[in-house]
Amino acid sequence: MPSAEPPPPAENGAPRSELEQLQMRAGQVTDDSLESTRRMMQLCEESHEVGMKTLVMLDEQGEQLDRIEEGMDQINADMREAEKNLSGMEKCCGICVLPCNKGASFKEDDGTWKGNDDGKVVNNQPQRDNKRRP
């Protein structure tokens, strides 16, 4: 694309030919392209590093969620054991058990302790029971 301006003078003061101008422009475009490619490669490397760090963090968080789920399963098992022990203590120590003082037995609710065997993310937690026992 020829410009309307007169060509700048060469180093020796003579005007540059159209060929010299085109070669000079081609060199500038090549330099700009090379610099752009270097920036692009650097951004790709940075993106790769960020992606790797993200994967590591997601893996750690997945392991943490697995440990939390194991802890919740253990709490559920402990609650069942405690309920059995309390029921046994009532039978053994309560010679005269009043029916009105008897608390509701532990109710296993599948919705509360649902598993994630289907591989989906568990999106709710056990709800707190606000009912008071007499």
Structural domain count of the chain: 1
Residue 9 maps to a domain: no
Q: Which residue, 108, 134, 113, is CA-closest to 124? A: 113
Please give the residue that has the higher pLDDT: either 89 or 26. Answer: 26
User: What domain range is 30 assigned to?
Assistant: 18-86
In-domain check, residue 5: no
In DSSP notation, 86-126 reads: HHHHHHHH-SS--GGGPPPPP---TTTT---TTSPPP---P
Is 122 a domain residue? no
Q: Which has the closest alpha carbon to 94: 82, 84, 102, 83?
A: 102
103 occurs within a structural domain: no
Grade residue 134 by pLDDT with cuts at 50, 70 and 90.
very low
Asked whether residue 125 is domain-assigned, the answer is no
- Region 44-73: what's the mean pLDDT? 97
Q: What is the percentage of the chain residues whose pLDDT exceeds 90?
A: 48
The structure's pTM equals 0.47
**Structural domain contains residue 129:** no
In a domain? residue 51: yes
Q: Would you say residue 46 lies in a domain? A: yes
